[in-house]
Chain A
Amino acid sequence: ETGVTQSPTHLIKTRGQQVTLRCSSQSGHNTVSWYQQALGQGPQFIFQYYREEENGRGNFPPRFSGLQFPNYSSELNVNALELDDSALYLCASSLNSYGYTFGSGTRLTVV
């Protein structure tokens, strides 16, 4: 079985730019959730997609948006990047929010 793959692994962007991060879900999983992990902190829930619909959102502004595709892969889009958006972005897939498989993360640096 395939795991969860995130791309790119590292990314440097300038303040004000837009970024798209990608995540492939594990085979057989239908739910993808995204997390932001600042340095030295635990991950914070951004949002979750279930069967292509957003079905939960954390305390993040609307400039954080996402998509889930029919093959259950997902994208996280962040517009108008701010310096505080610099973090490790993790995605996890699951089957109906049961038993999570995590990707290795995308480290985003905003300068």
Chain B
Amino acid sequence: KNEVEQSPQNLTAQEGEFITINCSYSVGISALHWLQQHPGGGIVSLFMLSSGKKKHGRLIATINIQEKHSSLHITASHPRDSAVYICAVTNTDKLIFGTGTRLQVFP
């Protein structure tokens, strides 16, 4: 069993839909990260969370430390949101990654 699990693995949406990606982890963490990876491979850090909720534009990330669960929400999705979204946790100063959720948003 992976230490960081994401669901769903693949997600297809119509433009404008509300999207949720889930992440569960089984190890102790000091922080949880939501990352975005485009086809070229480069990774952009979207959020780093250790508690509560953060919002940036149309993106919202939440974390429940007791349940070891985090969610990434995208409101009013747009085709440019199409990418792989990766959840990662900081465990003993190293990152452990989930396998990612591939999101495709169609016009």
Contacts and interface: CB of A to CB of B under 8 A. Distances in A.
Interface of A: 33, 35, 37, 40-45, 48, 55-56, 58, 88, 90, 92, 97-105, 107
Given A56-B92, A100-B33, A42 B97 contact: yes
B95 A55 contact: no
A88 B41 contact: yes
Interface of B: 4, 31, 33, 35, 40-45, 48, 86, 88, 90, 92-100
Contacts of B41: 37, 88, 90, 104-105, 107
11 contacts: A33-B95, A42-B100, A48-B93, A88-B41, A90-B43, A98-B31, A100-B33, A102-B44, A103-B42, A105-B41, A105-B42
B27 to A, nearest CB: 13
A101 B4 CA distance: 20
B42 A42 contact: no
Contacts of A101: 45
Given A42-B86, A88-B41, A100-B33, A58 B97 contact: no
Contacts of A37: 41
Nearest to B6: A42
Contacts of A48: 93-94
B98 to A, nearest CB: 5
A7 to B, nearest CB: 13
Nearest to B38: A104
